Structure 1
Amino acid sequence: MRDTMRKGSAPWAFLLAVVCVLPLQAVNADENRYEPVPKSEGMQTVYIADVENRGGRTYLKVDSIEWYEGEAANEAFREHEQDPDVTEAPDGYYIVNDAEDWHTYELAPDADIHMQFYNRTGDWTEAVAVWDEKIDAPAFVSLFTPDDEEIMEGFPYHVTVENGKIVKLVQQFIP
């Protein structure tokens, strides 16, 4: 089970270090600014624990989580942490994963996939945020290399499931 306020390993720490040193213009490029992912019917927020190809189909093993932003994050933080010295969620978001809730879904070959931040060049130090960059399912699966798998699994994803298949996947940017 992942802890509340996900605690990470060295690759996760590296990812946070890379994000923290991004130039401001990379984060707020042009008129594209971060916007929370709007909730929709059939959408759930998850961590991806495994990507597996079976019989020409791709399956994602996911663990459902609760994702909070803004004042809702502060309320969830106070409820779970009860720390008199820290009363607001750091960085404006808060993740709750009180219990494992595993599901395996097929990734639809034509799934609508939107990424925010990933290793496009093979060098994480060159990574920049590109808001809602649309990629196809094979490109998404290719990001889960042995070197990058743990980092990619460290991001929350908002998935929409229809008839047992993920038809939409949006990577949640972590500030």
Structure 2
Amino acid sequence: MLLNKPKVLLPVLVLLFLSLITTASTAGTTAEAQSGAQTEHLTVYIHGLQTNTDGSLKLIADPVEWYEGAEADRIFAEREPEAAAEIGGALDGYYIVNDSETLSNYPVAANAAVTMQIFDHTGKIEDLDINWNESITLKKFTEEFAKTDVFDLSGSPYHLTIENGVITSIVQQYTP
């Protein structure tokens, strides 16, 4: 009786393994076929905004790595062990890594969504305040980005959503 079990068990295991491989590859193929769009999420420091001759906008940015929470603490401890031992973890719950200051150019969709946390509303430093997740137009963003006297927006990191090579969303990350 024990001799017959391996003869039955091996074909069952082979069939199970093959069905898992077939199912996994089918799921991936179906998902790709259904959504031809490629979406990428990046965190960057914006160095400039440039209007092209055709009126389209190009964003010039330095991509960075953004970490939060326990992952920020782990990366901080790996990269700066002495500081981590002294203060215990990443300051303010986030950690930014920028190993390359290479600038990249990204085209911006004319209807890109822009979400801000803080910017100059009045021209007076005393009025500067956080307005969480405030939606503004792309035109307003380009105007505000050009202003640097009260609050320089290039000092904030931004989370970008890029679909098929074009920025469709810009979200300012508040950093204390």
Instruction: Report if TM-score (shorter chain) is over 0.5.
Output: yes
1:59 — aligned with what? 58
The change in CA–CA distance for 1:148 and 1:103 in structure 2 (over 3 A counts) is farther
2:5 — aligned with what? none
SS at the partner of 2:78? helix
Structure 2 regions of 5+ residues with no counterpart?
A: 1-38
Residues in 1 aligned to 2:78 and 2:113: alpha-carbon distance in whole angstroms: 35
The change in CA–CA distance for 1:152 and 1:43 in structure 2 (over 3 A counts) is same
Show CA shifts across 1:67-90 (max 9, x none).
111111111111111113223111
1:69 — aligned with what? 68
Structure 1 regions of 5+ residues with no counterpart?
A: 1-40
Report how far residue 136 of structure 1 moved.
0.8
SS at the partner of 1:85? helix
Question: Is residue 117–residue 129 contact of structure 1 (8 Å, CA) maintained in 2?
Answer: yes
Residues in 1 aligned to 2:167 and 2:90: alpha-carbon distance in whole angstroms: 30
Runs of at least 4 residues of structure 1 off by over 4 A? none
1:122-133 equivalent positions in 2, closer than 5 A:
122-133=123-134
2:109 — aligned with what? 108
Residues in 1 aligned to 2:150 and 2:48: alpha-carbon distance in whole angstroms: 9
1:94 — aligned with what? 95
TM-score by length of 1: 0.72
Question: Is residue 61–residue 103 contact of structure 2 (8 Å, CA) maintained in 1?
Answer: yes
Residues in 1 aligned to 2:126 and 2:68: alpha-carbon distance in whole angstroms: 27
Report how far residue 91 of structure 1 moved.
1.1
SS at the partner of 1:77? helix
TM-score by length of 2: 0.71
Show CA shifts across 1:92-150 (max 9, x none).
11111011242111221110111011111112321111111111110000012253598
Residues in 2 aligned to 1:42 and 1:110: alpha-carbon distance in whole angstroms: 17
Residues in 1 aligned to 2:118 and 2:165: alpha-carbon distance in whole angstroms: 27
1:162 — aligned with what? 163
The change in CA–CA distance for 1:42 and 1:149 in structure 2 (over 3 A counts) is farther
Structure with max Cα Rg: 2
Residues in 1 aligned to 2:149 and 2:139: alpha-carbon distance in whole angstroms: 16
Residues in 1 aligned to 2:43 and 2:66: alpha-carbon distance in whole angstroms: 7
The change in CA–CA distance for 1:149 and 1:138 in structure 2 (over 3 A counts) is farther
Higher RCO structure, 1 or 2 (CA under 8 Å, sep 6+): 1
Identity of matched residues, %: 39
Q: When you count helix as a share of all residues, which structure comes out higher?
A: 2
Q: Tell me whether 1:42 sits opposite 2:53 in the alignment.
A: no
